[in-house]
Amino acid sequence: MGLPPEHRFPVSKYRLIRESLQKDSRFTFHPAPLATRDELARAHDPHYVDAVIHGTLTPAAIRRIGFPWSPQLVQRTLASAGATLAATQTALTINVSGALAGGTHHAFYAEGSGFCVFNDIAVAIAHLRATTTLTRFSVIDLDVHQGDGTAQIFANDPEVLTLSLHGQNNFPFRKQQSTIDVALPDHTNDAEYLAALEEVLPKAFAHNPDFVFYQSGVDPLKEDTLGKLDLTMAGLKTRDEMVFTAVRRHAAPLVITIGGGYANPIELTAAAHAQTYQLCASLFFS
Ligand SMILES: [Zn+2]
């Protein structure tokens, strides 16, 4: 991505997750295709898409994203959205798939924010609407940060339910309105978190989605340096299990994206992300 060495974005976790899952023969890997300009422009302002690709964003717009613009950043950004698109296409056939990136939920219709350039899940929903007869979607966003971009993009779209459980004192400090928001206080523990999830999760399925997206950010982990919640690895596992069990019962296709995770050491974050995918394989493919 051409980031300076002191940048806080944890680039190494992506490689660590892949290396960990490659030891597990249940997974098949495909290199991410690059999302095209037209695929991105289904969900985003075409002028914004062009400005990202051609490097003509304003300095303020680049600062809000939090990455310096570079040709490598564009490649990485297109591959990240492309991975979610490819996973979406695959899930139509085998029911469950995932991207080892994505969940870039702070990207709005016409601007990026918080390490998110394009909103991959919004791009995937627009793709499904353009290429299939599916119309109803649920986005389950359990990253510790509110899915503000996703909430804004679908604010006036009753066929897309957005559910966000997040830390009330975590970024973004000006929250948007999701279909369902649960703002949790600092130091929320496993039991409190799981009780809150249990209460709202059925609503994501009462919506009767044709397709489910899971933003499975692991930054609610106690050791996370950005999140303010106190979940354990076991708590995250139960959280994921609740989501997967509900998706299985509803029998809609599922795409998982990884979202955030900034623990110190970063190996802990990578292990938490790998745990999500391993649990998914156990529940759906064993
Ligand atoms: Zn996050």
Distances (CA, A) of 253 to 73, 91, 134, 214: 30, 6, 11, 11
- Which residues span the domain enclosing 98? 12-285
d(CA 113, CA 125): 20
Q: Is residue 5 part of a domain?
A: no
CA 258 / ligand 1 centre spacing (Å): 10
CATH number of the domain that residue 125 is part of:
3.40.800.20
Q: Is residue 3 part of a domain?
A: no
| pLDDT at residue 204, rounded to an integer | 98
Q: Is residue 7 part of a domain?
A: no
CA 141 / ligand 1 centre spacing (Å): 10
| pLDDT at residue 67, rounded to an integer | 95
CA 145 / ligand 1 centre spacing (Å): 4
| pLDDT at residue 41, rounded to an integer | 98
| pLDDT at residue 5, rounded to an integer | 81
CA 208 / ligand 1 centre spacing (Å): 27
Contact by Cβ (8 Å): 170, 221: no
Q: Is residue 241 part of a domain?
A: yes
Q: Is residue 55 part of a domain?
A: yes
CA 227 / ligand 1 centre spacing (Å): 7
d(CA 51, CA 112): 11
Q: What is the DSSP string of the chain?
A: ----TT--S-THHHHHHHHHHHTSTT----PPPPPPHHHHHTTS-HHHHHHHHHT---HHHHHHHTS---HHHHHHHHHHHHHHHHHHHHHHHHSEEE-SS---TT--SS--BTTBSS-HHHHHHHHHHHHSS---EEEEE-SSS--HHHHHHTTT-TTEEEEEEEETTSSPSS----SEEEEEPTT--HHHHHHHHHHHHHHHHHT--SEEEEE---TTBTTBSS----B-HHHHHHHHHHHHHHHHHHT--EEEE-----BSSHHHHHHHHHHHHHHHHHHHH-
Positions in the chain whose pLDDT score sits under 50: none
CA 133 / ligand 1 centre spacing (Å): 32
| pLDDT at residue 285, rounded to an integer | 87
Q: Is residue 112 part of a domain?
A: yes
| pLDDT at residue 2, rounded to an integer | 80
Q: Is residue 1 part of a domain?
A: no
| Number of domains the chain contains | 1
For 210-260, the pLDDT digits (tens) are 999 999 999 999 999 999 999 999 999 999 999 999 999 999 999 999 999
| pLDDT at residue 178, rounded to an integer | 98
Q: Is residue 122 part of a domain?
A: yes
Retrieve residue 235's tokens: 């708590």
| pLDDT at residue 76, rounded to an integer | 97
